[in-house]
Amino acid sequence: MKEFKVIEVKRSILEDNDADAEKLRQELKEEGTFLLNLMSSPGAGKTTMLKRTISMLADEMKIGVMEADIDSDVDAQAITEAGARSIQLHTGGMCHLDASMTRQGLLEFGAGDFDLVVLENVGNLVCPAEFDTGACRNVMILSVPEGDDKPLKYPLMFSVCDLVLINKIDVLPYFDFDMDKCRQYIYRRNPKAKIIPISAKDGEGFMEWTQWLREEVAAWTNS
Amino acid sequence: MKEFKVIEVKRSILEDNDADAEKLRQELKEEGTFLLNLMSSPGAGKTTMLKRTISMLADEMKIGVMEADIDSDVDAQAITEAGARSIQLHTGGMCHLDASMTRQGLLEFGAGDFDLVVLENVGNLVCPAEFDTGACRNVMILSVPEGDDKPLKYPLMFSVCDLVLINKIDVLPYFDFDMDKCRQYIYRRNPKAKIIPISAKDGEGFMEWTQWLREEVAAWTNS
């Protein structure tokens, strides 16, 4: 038996997603729940990164993960096995989540039970960047094999993120990836972005990343 | 000075993209031009693959490349430097191309001058799969670092492709990627898919890939 729910989320008929997203953030503030929107290309390592993050923070805070996927349950299964509560959101072919779809997931999940809810968005560097989900912070993962030029090619994604995790630094020797150039390209899109190189495989950079997350959650839920 | 044109393509108001795509294929048939739609995640290696392909086939056929990008010119520049004619299609934030947008590019490019035109679609495994561009064949690149489970997570993309190139096999030793499992997952989505493992970096698999392309172009333009 599956240990996670699967929900078909429907696109809303609301015209004003931005206002709806702002409303959702207010609701989350009142509930004392921090919602993190996690975005990346397919295969950049979102699920592996989350599994390690959960193992490091699970003793300190209640964490839930909402897995948005077109129609598979692969990731929710993996997160459940890692020991966190998880819910699978099926987008029915949609390439992104908007605030209304996110709210449907949160309602089913019971967001108030959690200090931190991570929305693992659909693997896509284009569409998810265009829709405010109502999350408190946006984080994206860029992985080394994708190349250092991605901030030039997917500008909006890098503009809307508060933090960029550069993952798979364990394979830097095998790829032509210039970390300094990548940082410059990211800053060109978003001078305020925080950048943390990590390896979800071996844990490098996770002290800094989890400390950032810990502080963000505390600032949101205590204020 | 840039040696390639940049065109802003606009989404059509046509309701029936499928019919428009079919019409475009007929026009290409009459002109004796083979249009290949190339899709992948961001950073899977489309441009590197194309540069090597052009170097192997440029003496045999006239090749043009249409680079679809949200707003950068990075790829058109690279292709022009590789010695092929190139045009940059800016999609104005759109996450895919439809048949009408493709036709706008072909008209500006002068498709009749080429035996083979490659449409390098926006890096995205979701939306481009939903729109028939009017291409004669669909090819996608899955790269080893993305993981062998991608056919489970992006089912439509694998269903609509005639050929899947599995790229970056030179880094197989550094990733947990099961080639047999990946083939099984692809066949589950698309039993008729042809699969060719390649390394765009060192050329492995390119004899088989270029032979496939050569035969497809010949069959289309001679019949």
CATH number at residue A148: 3.40.50.300
In A, residues 167-196, which contact B (CB 8 Å cutoff)? 168, 171, 174-175
Q: Which of B84, B166, B101 is nearest to B135 (CA)?
A: B101
Instruction: Write the residue in B123, B155, B174 that is nearest to A125 by C-beta.
Output: B123
Entry pTM? 0.90
- Distance of alpha carbon A139 from alpha carbon A194, whole angstroms: 10
Is A42's CB within 8 Å of B43's CB? no
- Distance of alpha carbon B123 from alpha carbon B103, whole angstroms: 19
Tell me if A202 is assigned to some domain. Answer: yes
Tell me if A106 is assigned to some domain. Answer: yes
Question: How many domains does one find in chain A?
Answer: 1
pLDDT at A48: 94
Average pLDDT, chain A: 91
> Cβ contacts (< 8 Å) between B71 and chain A: which residues?
155
Tell me if B1 is assigned to some domain. Answer: no
- Retrieve residue A43's tokens: 């295969």
Tell me if B2 is assigned to some domain. Answer: no
Tell me if B4 is assigned to some domain. Answer: no
Tell me if B129 is assigned to some domain. Answer: yes
Asked if ipTM goes beyond 0.90, one says no
- Distance of alpha carbon A217 from alpha carbon A206, whole angstroms: 16
Q: How confident is the model over A136-156, as a mean pLDDT?
A: 96
- Distance of alpha carbon B137 from alpha carbon B29, whole angstroms: 13
Q: Domain residues for B77?
A: 10-222
E strands, A44-84, are 63-69
* pLDDT beyond 60 at A61: yes
pLDDT at B219: 96
* pLDDT beyond 90 at A91: no
Nearest residue of A to residue B171, measured between CA atoms: A174
A143 SS3 class: strand
pLDDT at A9: 66
- Which has more pLDDT, A84 or B157? B157
pLDDT at B94: 77
- Which has more pLDDT, A161 or A109? A161
pLDDT at A1: 42
pLDDT at B1: 42
Tell me if A3 is assigned to some domain. Answer: no
